[in-house]
């Protein structure tokens, strides 16, 4: 079950990874914002904005709810892109994501095309006094 907070979840995952091992996170992780197509149901074929983390451009990591608890899971990038019907994506390095977060004052989405597809719009969640270094 989705958490319905993919932009927050994805950047939080990267933030936690940086705190655990900055060099490893910077080298292997990327934040991705994308436009996907609903695969089924009443919204079938309708575009929606989504965010996820990619590790080495081969594994997708994202959050879900299982029995009311947030869990993290991974799947092969190729399978994820096919299942989610990814139409377009923007990939951010860890440094770029930090700067975009500071610049926009939100976890995302930062691009106008992605924001237009979010039901709730962007929520302000972070604003620093100085830009990150």
Question: Which of the residue ranges 1-10, 54-63, 122-131 would you say has the lowest mean pLDDT?
Answer: 122-131
- pLDDT tens digits, one per residue of 93-117: 999 999 999 999 989 999 999 999 9
Instruction: Give the list of residues 6+ apart from residue 73 with CB closer than 8 angstroms, or none.
Output: 61, 62, 64
pLDDT at 131 over 80: no
User: Please, which pLDDT band fits residue 71 given cuts at 50, 70 and 90?
Assistant: very high
Contact predicate 90/32, CB 8 Å = yes
57 phi/psi in degrees, rounded to 5: 55, 20
Taking the C-alpha atoms of residue 126 and residue 102, their distance in angstroms, rounded to an integer, is 7
Q: What is the pTM of this model?
A: 0.85
């Amino acid at each position: 079950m989705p958490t319905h907070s993919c932009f927050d979840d994805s950047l939080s995952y990267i933030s936690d990874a940086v705190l655990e091992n900055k060099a490893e996170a910077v080298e292997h992780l990327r934040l991705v914002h994308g436009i996907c197509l609903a695969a089924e149901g009443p919204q079938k074929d309708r575009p929606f904005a989504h965010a996820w983390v990619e590790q080495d451009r081969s594994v997708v990591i994202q959050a879900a709810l299982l029995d009311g608890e947030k869990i993290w899971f991974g799947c092969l990038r190729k399978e994820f892109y096919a299942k989610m019907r990814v139409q377009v994506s923007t990939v951010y390095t860890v440094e770029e994501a930090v700067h975009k977060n500071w610049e926009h004052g939100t976890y995302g989405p930062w691009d106008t095309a992605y924001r237009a597809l979010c039901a709730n719009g962007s929520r302000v969640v972070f604003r620093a006094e100085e830009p990150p270094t």
